Structure 1
Amino acid sequence: MIDHMASPSQQKKTLPSILTSKLNNLTIPSSPTDPDFDFADVFGPSSSSSTHPNPPHHNLFIGDPPIIHNRTHSFIGPSPRYTRSKSLPFHPQFDPNSSGEDEPEKADESEVEVEEKGKLNCKIGPGDFEIMRVIGKGSFGKVFQVRRRDKSVVNVDGECAIGDGIFAMKVMRKDTIIKNNHVDYMKAERDILTKVVHPFVVQLRYSFQTKTKLYLILDFINGGHLFFHLYRQGIFSEDQARVYTAEIVSAVSHLHERGIVHRDLKPENILMDADGHVMLTDFGLAKEIDESSRSNSMCGTTEYMAPEILLAKGHNKNADWWSVGILLYEMLTGKPPFTHSNRKKLQEKIINEKVKLLPRLSGEAHSLLKGLLQKDPSLRLGSGPRGGDDIKKHKWFRTINWKKLESRDLQPKFKPDVSGEDCTENFDKCWTAMPLDDSPAPTPTAGEHFHGYTYEAPNPWLSSPQ
């Protein structure tokens, strides 16, 4: 990290060498067996997660997602499929915390659950997608980059008006999900994604199942993770961080308006599309919480967890605004404000220590960080009845035109290097070079766990005025 105590002239001289050293030392584990590589923060807890003892004084329920102790890329994400046409609306979509430990099986049509929805007169299943590459693997399965096979568009009433395109297919083993008591989490994630329609949130296009697996078809985003770009650049300027933070605030506000708390906001769960816009992903720990209620689950990634979660005092949407503050701090300084190799000491620092604000940051940035990183959730910026609107009105965002931003007319200055819609250069080769092997899964004895899982996003060509 940059020595922020050095003089400006010293920082200028050493910045290129520091960033070069950072890049040379940046390593991504080559296999999921790496002890420092925990997939739980991407795909949900695995059966091995119980080896991490929970902090004292927290009474957790069986099936609660574990705290994430090791950070990693999510390796999964959507692609820039946001239409610029004013007449074509966006439709619900993304599911982030799941995956499937096997390649999509060549299931016959009788295996595929199809929800009868009036105009949907065709069955969608694994055979409708051509597997191109592996782009992720986790405790429940694999994530593939896939191409939708051509399928006839029947008529203007729309049966099977699906079309082709590049997607991310998450495949999850039912037996593993049931074994780990995560049926409710997988269902909640899918349900939440069907309710979220926002230009900075990844979209879920389809969900379906066979006798042995669950499938989520998501937009594939090829610009890489915010994590990757942040650690390649070292830090972001305030102007660059302002646009990313504004887009995140817009997305989180949208979730909160619909009673959804994300609970795992971090750079690894934010992707960048080919135009440089950020896209929020990974709803595996998300939860619908009533305005007057609280959740007592211990979940999230420790560096980004709000004090009230660590103290098991019950939390609500205000916990997300703390995480946004941590994200902003990391973008502007290169690391989260609270770090420690010992988990217990890290938690103590988050609960007790004051945030150290660097003098080189603007007074407006200091003010926003102080507001978001308020340890008392009732005093935190965004906690009031106006919610995210209070954050949008903060003076650090005075140059942001929120209408332009939310219509994606505010163009980021940085665009990732993307060669095409199927480009996977921003995904690590430890995944994209994997063989496309198919590993069969057993059929669970209890078959009613995932009833009603099938979903197809509304077709914009059918629901929009021409």
Structure 2
Amino acid sequence: VQLSNVRCFGGGGKGRSWKWRRMLRFPHISQCMELGNTIARDYSSLCVKQPIGRKLFCLFCQSKPELRHCNSLLDKMGEYEVQSDEDRKSFGMQIINRFLSRQVPDLHEFLSGAPFLQYLQSMYFERFLQWKMVERQPVTKHTFRQYRMLGKGGFGEVWACQVRASGKMYACKKLEKTHMKKRRGEAMALNEKQILEKLNSRFVVSLAYAYETKQSLCLVLSIMNGGDLRFHIYNIGPPGLEPARVRFYAAEVCCGLHHLHQRNIVYRDLKPENILLDDNGHIRISDLGLAVKLSGGNLVRGRVGTLGYMAPEVIGHEYYGISPDWWGLGCLVYEMTAGRSPFKRQGEQLTAKEMERRIQETEEVYRKTFSSETEDFCRSLLTKDPRQRLGCRRCGVEGVKSHPFFSTINFRRLDAGVIEPPFKPNVHTLSTHTC
């Protein structure tokens, strides 16, 4: 969002508000004692999973001469994970020669002992509690400035907004309560909020804040200014995308699906409109209202999603697990490559019954725009039998990542966000289509 060209509602068009910066002031540590008594003091959740907790624990270790080498080892291990395949072996040997011996215990096991207990008595943990108190401040519509509308959905609108205290931009998804009630969408909205609260993935939109007004339930999400994949497939140049972009977007979607599946979440609505690009050209999966969490490894049954992208087992009212998501990835790769969906030509009018028949009975057509690797990848994902589908076999997601279609993708580096996207959206061009 280019703020200089956007009308601002309140605040005079300024960025960070000095008045609202008071929200970011840390409370006195005496005000945090009650929180300190109630918070779960678990090493993994406090010092590994939470970014601010991890940072403060690292600062604590850096302040202790006897623990500094642990910090250095953690840093080097992080660097090792994003090394290219040709440099990985030599870099690993450097780590072994510098840090490791047969007597060295597991690093996190060591840090979770006496060092963690010392950390809990330090000023760094007090600072962590202050951060937690700031996080718990009430959020209302007055926390944000509102800018232009980014788009409309079935239950409301999406607006660009800015946190008054920090100046950071987000997308505010306003779900109108009257529309949700008429269309029985309350459960869907609550489901999306609850699932997003559990996720922390660079490939899925992040929920930063949630609040409600008299008229709306508001979800404040990662802002994605680069448009959706459908726009890029059909509105910029001839239909379809270049092979490098197809491969890159498919790989990032694969990582996003993997992160969801690790938490037993099935997405169930994978289509180009729901894949959004940021300013730099990275993608995120959005709109998780139809996602479902599998409990205890159980399967689910339900005809949900968008018909042109539904898997045969969904149309057939069968029980399923993660299989519809891998089918959706096959549809997505096909559409990005061919400039049309697998079972319907662009502009073709089909009845729902005919679309269902094609998905369940007919084979998709592959033309010369498909390389042999891309065709095999799509065929493997668009297998009618979910038990034989790529991603659903015994090798799981590793079978997808190791397919020749992804031979040029280093998934370790991709997961770390260090691979440069092959395309950077022109935000000015996009804004003329979305205003």
TM-score (norm 1): 0.61
Q: Is 1:134–2:149 an aligned residue pair?
A: yes
Q: Is 1:361–2:378 an aligned residue pair?
A: no
Within the candidate set 148, 165, 169, 1:166 is matched to 169
What's the counterpart of residue 60 of structure 1? none
What's the counterpart of residue 210 of structure 2? 207
Q: CA–CA distance in 1 between the matches of 2:135 and 2:375?
A: 52
What's the counterpart of residue 186 of structure 1? 189
What's the counterpart of residue 353 of structure 2? 344
Q: Superposition pairs for residues 276-291 of structure 1, below 5 Å?
A: 276-290=281-295
Aligned length: 302
Within the candidate set 295, 299, 316, 2:321 is matched to 316
Q: C-alpha displacement at 1:140, in angstroms?
A: 2.5
The 8 Å contact of residues 206 and 221 in structure 2, kept in 1 or not, is answered as yes
The 8 Å contact of residues 248 and 280 in structure 1, kept in 2 or not, is answered as yes
Q: 1:239 to 1:213 in 2, by over 3 A?
A: closer
Q: CA–CA distance in 2 between the matches of 1:204 and 1:360?
A: 38
Q: C-alpha displacement at 1:227, in angstroms?
A: 1.1
Q: C-alpha displacement at 1:277, in angstroms?
A: 1.2
Q: CA–CA distance in 2 between the matches of 1:274 and 1:171?
A: 22
343-352 or 294-303, which deviates more: 294-303
Q: Secondary structure at the match of 2:419?
A: coil
Q: Superposition pairs for residues 378-417 of structure 1, below 5 Å?
A: 378-417=387-426
What's the counterpart of residue 125 of structure 1? 140
Q: Is 1:272–2:287 an aligned residue pair?
A: no
Q: C-alpha displacement at 1:297, in angstroms?
A: 1.7
The 8 Å contact of residues 197 and 203 in structure 1, kept in 2 or not, is answered as yes
In structure 1, what residue type is equivalent to 2:412? K
In structure 2, what residue type is equivalent to 1:195? K
Q: Which one has the bigger helix percentage? A: 2
Q: Secondary structure at the match of 2:204?
A: coil
Within the candidate set 293, 299, 304, 2:298 is matched to 293
In structure 1, what residue type is equivalent to 2:221? L
Q: CA–CA distance in 1 between the matches of 2:147 and 2:269?
A: 29
Structure number with higher relative contact order (C-alpha < 8 Å, ≥ 6 residues apart): 1
Q: Superposition pairs for residues 45-64 of structure 1, below 5 Å?
A: none
1:306-346 Cα deviation digits (max 9, x unpaired): 01111111222110100100000011111111015222111
The 8 Å contact of residues 142 and 170 in structure 1, kept in 2 or not, is answered as yes
Q: C-alpha displacement at 1:192, in angstroms?
A: 0.6
Within the candidate set 196, 201, 223, 1:198 is matched to 201
1:184-229 Cα deviation digits (max 9, x unpaired): 2111110111111111111110011234431111121111111111
In structure 1, what residue type is equivalent to 2:317? A
Q: CA–CA distance in 2 between the matches of 1:416 and 1:121?
A: 36
What's the counterpart of residue 442 of structure 1? none
Q: Superposition pairs for residues 52-91 of structure 1, below 5 Å?
A: none
Q: Secondary structure at the match of 1:300?
A: coil
1:377-404 Cα deviation digits (max 9, x unpaired): 1110000244211100111111111111
The 8 Å contact of residues 253 and 387 in structure 1, kept in 2 or not, is answered as no
Q: CA–CA distance in 1 between the matches of 2:222 and 2:323?
A: 29
Q: CA–CA distance in 1 between the matches of 2:223 and 2:170?
A: 5
Identity of aligned residues (%): 35
What's the counterpart of residue 327 of structure 1? 332
Q: CA–CA distance in 1 between the matches of 2:432 and 2:175?
A: 21
TM-score (norm 2): 0.65
What's the counterpart of residue 177 of structure 1? 180
In structure 1, what residue type is equivalent to 2:161? V
Q: 1:354 to 1:121 in 2, by over 3 A?
A: closer
Q: Is 1:223–2:232 an aligned residue pair?
A: no
Q: Which residues of structure 1 form unaligned runs of 5+?
A: 1-82, 89-116, 151-162, 420-424, 433-466
Q: 1:286 to 1:129 in 2, by over 3 A?
A: same
Q: 1:139 to 1:241 in 2, by over 3 A?
A: closer
Structure possessing the higher radius of gyration over alpha carbons: 2
Q: CA–CA distance in 2 between the matches of 1:298 and 1:210?
A: 32
Q: Superposition pairs for residues 436-451 of structure 1, below 5 Å?
A: none
What's the counterpart of residue 73 of structure 1? none
The 8 Å contact of residues 225 and 272 in structure 1, kept in 2 or not, is answered as yes
Q: C-alpha displacement at 1:254, in angstroms?
A: 0.8
1:329-378 Cα deviation digits (max 9, x unpaired): 01111111101522211110011001222245222212211110000011
The root-mean-square deviation of aligned C-alpha atoms, in Å, is 2.2
Q: Secondary structure at the match of 2:244?
A: helix
Q: C-alpha displacement at 1:296, in angstroms?
A: 2.0
Q: C-alpha displacement at 1:118, in angstroms?
A: 5.2
1:12-35 Cα deviation digits (max 9, x unpaired): xxxxxxxxxxxxxxxxxxxxxxxx
Q: Is 1:376–2:385 an aligned residue pair?
A: yes
Q: C-alpha displacement at 1:251, in angstroms?
A: 0.6
Q: Secondary structure at the match of 1:242?
A: helix
Q: CA–CA distance in 2 between the matches of 1:208 and 1:310?
A: 36
The 8 Å contact of residues 374 and 380 in structure 1, kept in 2 or not, is answered as yes
Q: CA–CA distance in 2 between the matches of 1:384 and 1:291?
A: 20
Q: CA–CA distance in 1 between the matches of 2:407 and 2:330?
A: 18
The 8 Å contact of residues 208 and 220 in structure 2, kept in 1 or not, is answered as yes
What's the counterpart of residue 308 of structure 2? 303
In structure 1, what residue type is equivalent to 2:415? E
Q: Which residues of structure 2 form unaligned runs of 5+?
A: 1-50, 57-131
1:59-91 Cα deviation digits (max 9, x unpaired): xxxxxxxxxxxxxxxxxxxxxxxx9xx969xxx
* Displaced runs of 4 or more, over 3 A: 117-121
Q: CA–CA distance in 1 between the matches of 2:256 and 2:135?
A: 30
Q: CA–CA distance in 2 between the matches of 1:386 and 1:174?
A: 44
Q: C-alpha displacement at 1:409, in angstroms?
A: 1.4
In structure 2, what residue type is equivalent to 1:364? E
What's the counterpart of residue 426 of structure 1? 430
